[in-house]
Amino acid sequence: MIPTKIKRWNKRTWFNFYNPQFVPDQNNDGVEDILISNGGNVRKKPYDPNRPVGYLVVLNSLTGSVLSKAPMPDGRETYMSVAAVKAYDSNDMNIIYGSGGETIGGHLYVTKLSDVMKGDISRSIILDSSATRGFIGPPMWIDITNDKVPDIVANSVDGRLLAYDGVNL
């Protein structure tokens, strides 16, 4: 017999939430909303490829209701916190996020908040990939090229420190 607590846990659709970011008001209630990544079933055994897909989620900051939920384009889990910054070339927001885990390969991506709001981030730009390890550590936007445009700095679980020009990636 399976304990009730475990039965409930197996039925749930939410996993871990990582480092929320405020984003401009998406539902016209006059209050900034919340962008967050959700994923990572920590009860899975290492190297088990059968893992629930991760999501980028936008939540109404007043009610907690889901405004949008976009699955990882590669169908993999996520443990990476999102990092959002206003796009230098539009009124949209640029978002860095990653997929995979400590023992599962993944990708480092950039997408737009407008695509997250559509529930479809399949047009995300892949910055880097790893067949054996994912992207977990929080990325950041910081101007390292001194051109007044935030650049991307991130690390991969396989030990690489990555930097990308914010203009041309």
Give the tens place of pLDDT for each residue, 31-47: 999 999 999 887 888 88
Which three-class secondary structure state does DSSP give residue 94? Answer: strand
Cα 161 to Cα 36, 48, 103, 158: the distances in Å are 23, 26, 18, 9
Domain ranges of the chain: 4-163
pTM above 0.85, yes or no: yes
Give the tens place of pLDDT for each residue, 5-16: 434 444 457 888
Query: Half-sphere exposure (CA, 13 Å, Cβ side) for 140?
Result: 4
Query: Half-sphere exposure (CA, 13 Å, Cβ side) for 111?
Result: 26
